């Protein structure tokens, strides 16, 4: 089966449409290693792996943000750093085991929190 007929490969215009980007941005993604391409059916055309394009489109739709980054790290099995300095929980961040919200409500200053973090 030739690449031109392979359903796993898509032309540049279809990749751009799936990603919602211009051809120049598509080429930038290839140059940065975010997508790979192969020669297409004509001398100047390129085709792209459908699975890679769809995966990138899904990441773009999901957005960035801290919560998304943490979830992605957990999904991919990347290490999550444990620390005594801070802990992020749904109710509040904690610094050295103390609630930052409770500290703020009690009138803690920036300097107070710095001393807590620096253990002095």
Residue 81 belongs to some domain of the structure? no
> Domain residues for 30?
3-75
Residue range 1-50, pLDDT digits in tens: 444 457 899 999 999 999 999 999 999 999 988 899 999 988 888 999 99
Residues 68 and 102 in one domain: no
Q: Are residues 7 and 46 in the same domain?
A: yes
In a shared domain, residues 71 and 92: no
Residues 41-54 pLDDT 10s? 888 889 999 999 99
Taking the complete model, does pTM exceed 0.95, yes or no?
no
Residue 57 inside a domain? The answer is yes
SS (HEC) of 14-78: HHHHHHCCCHHHHHHHHHCCCCCEEECCCCCCEEEEHHHHHHHHHHHHHCCCHHHHHHHHHHCCC
Q: Is residue 115 very low, low, confident or very high in pLDDT (cuts 50, 70, 90)? A: very high
């Amino acid at each position: 089966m030739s690449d031109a007929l392979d359903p796993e490969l898509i032309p540049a215009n279809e990749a751009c449409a799936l990603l919602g980007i211009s051809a120049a941005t598509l080429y930038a993604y290839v140059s940065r290693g975010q997508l790979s391409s192969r020669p297409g059916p004509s001398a100047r055309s390129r085709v792209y792996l459908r699975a890679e394009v769809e995966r990138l489109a899904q990441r773009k739709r999901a957005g960035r943000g801290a919560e998304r980054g943490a979830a992605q790290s957990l999904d991919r099995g990347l290490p999550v750093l444990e620390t005594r300095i801070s802990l992020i929980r749904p109710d509040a961040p904690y610094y050295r085991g103390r609630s930052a919200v409770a500290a703020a409500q009690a009138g803690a200053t920036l300097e107070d929190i710095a001393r807590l973090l620096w253990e002095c």
